[in-house]
Amino acid sequence: MRGLALAALIPALAAGAQPRWWMDEPVRLIQTNLRETDATLDAARLIRQVAEFPANTLLFGMGGIVAYYPTRAPFHYPSPYLPAGRDLFGEVLREAHARHIRVIGRFDFSKTQKAVYDAHPEWFIRKTNGAPVIYNGLYSACINGGYYHEQALRILEEALDRYDVDGLFFNMFGNPATDYSGNPIGPCHCRSCEERFRARYHREIPATPDTEYREFLADSAREVGREIGALIHRRRPRAGFFTYIQQFTDGIMSESNTAVGRPLPLWPYSASDNVNRARNSEPDKMAVNLCMSFVDFPWRFVTVPSAEIRLRLYENMANGGALALNMHGTMDQEDGSALIAARPVYEWHARHEDLYVGQESAARVLLLGGRGSAYRGFFRFLSEQHIPFAVADNARRLASYELVIAPEGVPPEAEAYVREGGHLLVAGTSPPAFAVGQPVRRWPRTQAYFRVRDRAAFPSLRDTSLILLDGEYVEFPPAAHALLTLIPPARFGPPELVWTDKVETDKPGLLWADYGKGRVAYLPWDIGSLYYRLSSQGHAGLLADVVDAILPHGRQLKTNAHPLVEITLMRQPKQGCTLVHFVNLTGHADTAYFEPVEMRNIEVTVEGSYHSARSVRLGRELAISGGRFVLPSLGAYDVVVLH
């Protein structure tokens, strides 16, 4: 199947053989985020640029805030720059399909013109004082109003009847928390929101967003998503529905982006995080993680570092997602560095596209998804330790994994998983409701230590007997033969008085429990956040030893690779092979991305029986014995194919 052309797939689709092209074909997507002034662009030239990049999917402006075709739907307005009688979207679609390029139409129903507000003010977000939300003359529609539930569907019906699109993407899906300038919008007080919220929660909408209000908006977006998805699948059964929610969609959109005011440190695993999470939360949907080329909203035409662009794209591929690059305007960029950086990655993907279809995670460890520093600390730890892992936002497939790690709360499904033989690692101040018993009390922020009582149990800590604690701690009754115990806060200054009042306790910092057929390890303190914040080798060593002790069959992959070489383990069931992806993160430093440092002689042992290993980047077979091979050199990226 190597180098399989998209042209060969489209006749099969027309015959009804492969209706889910986004899952069954290699996807190299370019998004040109159009301005209304781009309505005069040369369609043939744009599609030639896309084809030569080489991309095979175009995400292109269609309608919503601005239509790029002569719409007749009420309250829908073509770009004022669209020449009379011109159908730009139709031209682009014809040119693209002639070159066997997929087209996903982009809609944004979050805002529209004042004339719509004047006719139907009840469709729009209302502030606490009753005023609408206006940005650059556009009025923000409410996800619970008639614009989303009625008018948007009328607009989509016209578009779907007129154009044989391959998919539709929806930007800004729902009520945003802030406007483009970062100003908070606050809860909506339109009649629809007030009535629906009151009926559900038996109280008024809060003055500021709280947990219930955020849950309310998320459910509202899912409700509209269900309506839009049903319409798309009814009118264009072969077209995909793509937006930023997981439910009712065919592909889950996300972004790897930057912002000048974002807290440090930078998150170099952004693309891996987004794609891994999406692909393993909803394995039957494609993850489309857009590499946003620009620095921040005020600077949409200046790009992030070239090495950052490539890193994101390699991470997309290595975790089973689509290749996807976003730019504002057209492909005639005033700062062309993002396109120059991305093009070799797209060329690589086109030459080896058979490797990037039908990938599934081969990991035996599941990290339950979160959004905070505890989750990121465990994500970093697992990547640096080269422990293959999947990420999921839900607990539907726990039984597929040997070890489940819960850094930000334990789902109810975990009890049955452990009882039936699963292994669970929990960290933080939300203990599991089973296996470990009842806590004695919760300590507030505690600046203290844990004593390593048995170094034989922690081979990674052979040079230390102390582990740092800075945060909350949940105290449990003393455990027999505790391996880790609390040293409460003591004097830390002046030097003459440091630790002169030190007290040793039997309060456990790690609990082990057998439960049913399975086992639980619980660290009753937030080691994930501490590792994310401090990168202590003591925390990393402790976690490594706990993981090794609880994994029933040991590590799936062993290597001497540098911690900043990200290794993902994927499989292609139809091809009968395992893929070992290597992404070199050594070019990331503080707020900068540079070309990565070349790595040499990376030894890897993968569990399983393999008779061949081929480095795709080097174009050569590697000697393999007992699942062990050596990758002689690694630049930015490589993938080794195991059979």
Segments forming the whole domain that contains residue 387: 363-555
- Whether residue 424 sits in one domain with residue 369: yes
Q: How many CB atoms lie within 10 A of CB 11?
A: 9
Residue with tokens 């709360």: 409
Residue 559 identity: T
- By CB neighbour count within 10 A (0-12 exposed, 13-18 middle, 19+ buried), where does 247 fall? middle
Residue 501 identity: D
Contact 641, 616 (CB under 8 A): yes
pLDDT band (50, 70, 90) for residue 11: very low
How high is the mean pLDDT of the chain?
A: 95
Give the number of C-alpha atoms closer than 13 A to the C-alpha of residue 481, restricted to the C-beta side: 6
Cα separation, 561 vs 631, in Å, equals 10
- Whether residue 625 sits in one domain with residue 545: no
Q: What b/e sequence results for 111-146 when a residue is b if at least 16 CB atoms lie within 10 Å of its CB, and e otherwise?
A: bbeeebbeebeebbbbeeeeebbeeeebbbbbbbbe
Cα separation, 520 vs 432, in Å, equals 9
The number of angstroms, rounded, from the C-alpha of 245 to the middle of its chain's C-alpha atoms is 11
Cα separation, 515 vs 434, in Å, equals 8
Residue with tokens 């219930």: 212
333 within a domain of the structure (yes/no): no
- What's the mean pLDDT in 490-519? 97
Give me the CATH number covering residue 614: 2.60.40.1180
440 within a domain of the structure (yes/no): yes
Nearest-Å Rg of the Cα atoms of the chain is 27
Cα separation, 274 vs 305, in Å, equals 20
Total number of domains in the chain: 2
Residue 596's alpha-carbon distances to 502, 526, 635, in angstroms, are: 46, 32, 7
- Whether residue 550 sits in one domain with residue 567: no
Measured at the CA of 344, the angle between CA 343 and CA 350, to 5 degrees, comes to 90
Q: How many CB atoms lie within 10 A of CB 293?
A: 28
290 within a domain of the structure (yes/no): no
Transcribe 498-553 into DSSP letters: TTTT------BS-EEEEETTEEEEEESB-HHHHHHHH--HHHHHHHHHHHHHH-TT
Transcribe 388-403 into DSSP letters: -EEEESS-TTGGG-SE
- What's the mean pLDDT in 301-318? 98
- Whether residue 592 sits in one domain with residue 501: no
- Whether residue 565 sits in one domain with residue 549: no
- What's the mean pLDDT in 292-311? 97
Identify the domain boundary among 536, 555, 574: 555
Contact 78, 68 (CB under 8 A): yes
Q: Bridge-partner residues for 621, per DSSP?
A: 614
Q: How do strand 365-368 and strand 389-392 relate by DSSP bridges?
A: parallel
Q: Bridge-partner residues for 324, per DSSP?
A: 29
Contact 406, 581 (CB under 8 A): no
Which structure tokens are listed for 243? 């937006």
- What's the mean pLDDT in 429-442? 96
Question: What confidence tens digit (pLDDT) does each residue in 535-584 have?
Answer: 999 999 999 999 999 999 999 999 999 999 999 999 999 999 999 999 99
pLDDT of residue 480: 82
pLDDT value at 14 more than 50: no
339 within a domain of the structure (yes/no): no
- Whether residue 528 sits in one domain with residue 422: yes
pLDDT value at 257 more than 80: yes
- What's the mean pLDDT in 422-436? 97
- Whether residue 493 sits in one domain with residue 376: yes
336 within a domain of the structure (yes/no): no
460 within a domain of the structure (yes/no): yes
3-class secondary-structure state, position 195: helix
404 within a domain of the structure (yes/no): yes
Which residues are CB-neighbours of 639 under 8 A, at least 6 positions away? Answer: 318, 352, 355, 579, 580, 581, 582, 615, 616, 617
- Whether residue 520 sits in one domain with residue 384: yes
Identify the domain boundary among 520, 555, 590: 555
Which structure tokens are listed for 635? 């630049």
- Whether residue 481 sits in one domain with residue 602: no
Task: Supply the angle between the helices 337-351 and 306-318 in degrees, to the nearest 10.
Answer: 30
Identify the domain boundary among 526, 555, 584: 555
Residue 123's alpha-carbon distances to 145, 215, 286, in angstroms, are: 4, 21, 32
Give me the CATH number covering residue 448: 3.40.50.880
pLDDT value at 473 more than 60: yes
Question: What confidence tens digit (pLDDT) does each residue in 50-106 have?
Answer: 999 999 999 999 999 999 999 999 999 999 999 999 999 999 999 999 999 999 999
Percentage of the chain beyond pLDDT 70 is 97
pLDDT of residue 309: 98
- Whether residue 513 sits in one domain with residue 456: yes
Which structure tokens are listed for 255? 């972004």
- Whether residue 465 sits in one domain with residue 435: yes
Cα separation, 155 vs 340, in Å, equals 37
Query: Which residue, among 329, 271, 361, 279, has the nearest Cα to 557 in the 3D structure?
Result: 361
Cα separation, 389 vs 363, in Å, equals 5
Model's pTM, two decimal places? 0.95
457 within a domain of the structure (yes/no): yes
Query: Which residue, among 309, 281, 285, 283, has the nearest Cα to 295 in the 3D structure?
Result: 309
- Whether residue 606 sits in one domain with residue 526: no
Question: What confidence tens digit (pLDDT) does each residue in 619-628 have?
Answer: 999 999 999 9
Contact 634, 576 (CB under 8 A): no
